[in-house]
Homo-oligomer: A and B are copies of this chain.
Amino acid sequence: MTQHKFVPPSGAFTRSVPVRFSHCDPAGIVYFPHYFDMFNGLIEDWYTQELGYDYADLIMGSQYGFPFVHIECDFKVPSRMGDIINLTLLVERIGRSSLRIAIVCHQNGIERLCARIVTAMMSLEARKAVPLPQALRDAIESYRQRTTDGEPP
């Protein structure tokens, strides 16, 4: 199997996750839905630690939700108990109320899996999509620019 190299862009938001006993299946590798749970945790941490928005406040306080509208994922190299894997979040497109991000899971410079995710910002009360507030949009766009090496939007 061809290995895909991956070096996160400078400044990209990356978090390490230890692969635990509880993540692994009888075949000894990560049971795949756990990756999606890790992705959700990464997005939470990105909002809170990188963008400066408290994710819990956005949801429980302001009553916004960020449901996934679309996800696709290629699984390339399995992970085993005891591995420490890295997850990097990159922004691909900022829509009116939607956000397209990529999450790459990698270790030692090799891609293990790669996901593309579209989320939408929703009002939980009105149960419909709302435009991303300008300040949040600016924070995301600033992150996108500083992690794409100056590429035009």
Tell me the A residues contacting B by CB distance below 8 Å.
18, 20-22, 24-29, 31-34, 36-37, 40-41, 44, 54-57, 59-60, 65, 67-75, 78, 80-82, 124
Contact = CB atoms under 8 A, between A and B. Distances in A.
B27 A124 contact: yes
Contact of A65 (B20, B27, B68, B75): B27
Number of copies: 4
A82 B70 contact: no
Contacts of A54: 82
Contacts of A60: 26, 28, 80-82
Considering residues A25, A70, A74, which has the most beta carbons from chain B within 10 angstroms of its beta carbon? A25
Considering residues A26, A60, A67, A70, which has the most beta carbons from chain B within 10 angstroms of its beta carbon? A26
Contacts of A57: 82
A37 B26 contact: no
B69 A72 contact: no
Considering residues A21, A68, A69, A70, which has the most beta carbons from chain B within 10 angstroms of its beta carbon? A21
B56 A40 contact: no
A145 to B, nearest CB: 27
Nearest to A76: B69
Considering residues A33, A59, A69, A73, which has the most beta carbons from chain B within 10 angstroms of its beta carbon? A33
Nearest to A127: B78
